[in-house]
């Protein structure tokens, strides 16, 4: 004996349609809130006093802290040796490069101390 699936009732279809609509609205609201947070973060970093170029005294290592929360690190003649994201909380900076490597540093008296190096504002 072969059994066939019965077609969904009108009530079940309405319930499934409502659930799909609710899930879609939740997803869109989440994306909108996330995009809003990113825009707030970009504004904060663009106004942040630490955004800009930081260099070691010998000019060998250079960190450009971009206003969008990204950084570019140059080493010697390699202008884009490393790139990634950074976050500043107070006088502390956290870095995460695009390969997943993380590091941090601290700003004290107009100087950035990071990875055993000393950076000054250029």
Digit-coded pLDDT (tens) for 15-43: 656 555 555 555 454 444 444 444 555 44
Q: What is the pTM of this model?
A: 0.63
Distance in angstroms (rounded) separating the CA atoms of residues 30 and 34? 6
Is the pLDDT score of 114 beyond 60?
yes
Predicted confidence at residue 32, as pLDDT, reads 46
Predicted confidence at residue 35, as pLDDT, reads 45
pLDDT tens for each residue of 59-74:
999 999 999 999 999 9
Predicted confidence at residue 27, as pLDDT, reads 46
Is the pLDDT score of 14 beyond 80?
no
Could you tell me which of 70, 52, 66, 34 has the C-alpha nearest to residue 107? 52
């Amino acid at each position: 004996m072969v059994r066939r699936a019965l077609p969904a009732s009108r009530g079940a279809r309405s319930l499934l349609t409502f659930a799909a609509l609710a899930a879609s609205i939740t997803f869109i609201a989440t994306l909108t809130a996330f995009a809003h947070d990113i825009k707030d973060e970009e504004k904060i970093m663009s106004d942040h006093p630490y955004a800009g170029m930081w260099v070691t005294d010998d000019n060998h290592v250079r960190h450009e802290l971009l206003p969008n929360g990204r950084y570019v690190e140059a080493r010697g003649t390699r202008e884009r040796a490393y790139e990634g994201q950074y976050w500043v909380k107070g006088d502390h900076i956290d870095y995460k490069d695009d390969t997943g490597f993380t590091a941090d540093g601290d700003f004290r008296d107009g100087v950035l101390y990071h990875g055993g190096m000393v950076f000054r504002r250029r």
